[in-house]
Amino acid sequence: MSGNLAKNADAIVIASGWQPSIARAEFSALVDSANTSQFIHERVLICDQDSATKIAQRSALISETLYPANHSLYTDLEKHVELVISWCKEHLENTGQTLAVRANKIGKKVEGWSTRSIEQSIGGEMFRDGWKIDLTAPEITLKITSLNHNNLTEEEEGENPPQIIWGVKSSGTSTWDERTAPKRPYFKPISLDPRLARAMANIACPEEGKILDPFCGTGGILLEAAAIGSQVFGSDADSRMVEGS
């Protein structure tokens, strides 16, 4: 396939499917306005590597990042297999690492899209090109994802055609479960989910600064703000809340 449909992308950040509108606001707050970035889907941001790194380090609602990465309007499966293989040969250096190819979809299924065909075709070509394939614990994971929107009218679908994104998945682990309210010394059932608390802190103060929460409760927002380098201040009418947090 000719490369005329493919667009250069330093990095791609994918939001989790939970609270995508809040994730979009959080990502927008964290991206430097001087850098070029673009949402190509409600859950997918194209940006520079520095912005992707910052989001990965601070965001509450990130699913994964891809770097290096690229994206293209979707035409048909065979042509995109050729496009991704060509991109891999140009951007990925085989130095003996193990590799796995993973495909998935976000949104409504794209006509003609087959995750199995994508994985087998690209994985097979990479194997023939000398890559070691390891589907259990690969050192490099190549992700290919189809993007489509749900619940669009026929006219809206014409204005928002399907796309594909691909790139090398960045590693990372989530620690949100370790910081849920029940695991603090004192909490109430209405305590804020730590992911929402982190998103609120990022939106309010995307750079290191000061955050005041005059009704801090068990301190969920302040804990997450402190974790990203902000100076925090809080108070609450219930002294047990402050002492417990």
What is the secondary structure of the chain as a DSSP string? Answer: --TTSEEEESEEEEE-SSSHHHHHHHHHHHS-TTS--EEEETTEEEE-HHHHHHHHHH-SSEEEEEEEEEEEE---HHHHHHHHHHHHHHH---SS-EEEEEEEEESSPPTT--HHHHHHHHHHHHHHTTPEE-SSS-SEEEEEEEE--SS--HHHHHHS--EEEEEEEPP----GGGGSGGGSSS--TTPPPHHHHHHHHHHH-SSS-EEEETT-TT-HHHHHHHHTT-EEEE--SSHHHHHH-
Homologous superfamily of 176-244 in CATH?
Vaccinia Virus protein VP39 (3.40.50.150)
The pTM of this model reads 0.85
pLDDT (0 to 100) of residue 176: 60
Q: Specify the domain boundaries for CATH 3.40.50.150 within the chain.
A: 176-244
**4 falls in which pLDDT band (50, 70, 90)?**
very low
Q: Is 2 exposed, middle or buried (0-12, 13-18, 19+ CB in 10 A)?
A: exposed
Q: Which residues pair with 12 in a beta bridge?
A: 46, 66
Q: What is the pLDDT of residues 64-117, one digit of tens each?
A: 999 999 999 998 889 999 999 999 999 999 999 999 999 999 998 888 899 999
| Domain(s) of CATH 3.30.2130.30: residues in the chain | 6-169
Which structure tokens are listed for 12? Answer: 């791609």
Out of 46-60, 128-142, 176-190, give the one with best mean pLDDT.
Answer: 128-142
Query: Chain centroid to CA 174: how far?
Result: 12
174 pLDDT higher than 70: no
Q: Which residue has the higher pLDDT, 173 or 92?
A: 92
pLDDT for 183 beyond 90: no
What is the pLDDT averaged over residues 162-186? 73
pLDDT on residue 199 = 94
Q: What is the mean pLDDT of the chain?
A: 86
CATH topology of domain 6-169: VC0802-like (3.30.2130)
- pLDDT score recorded for residue 165: 96
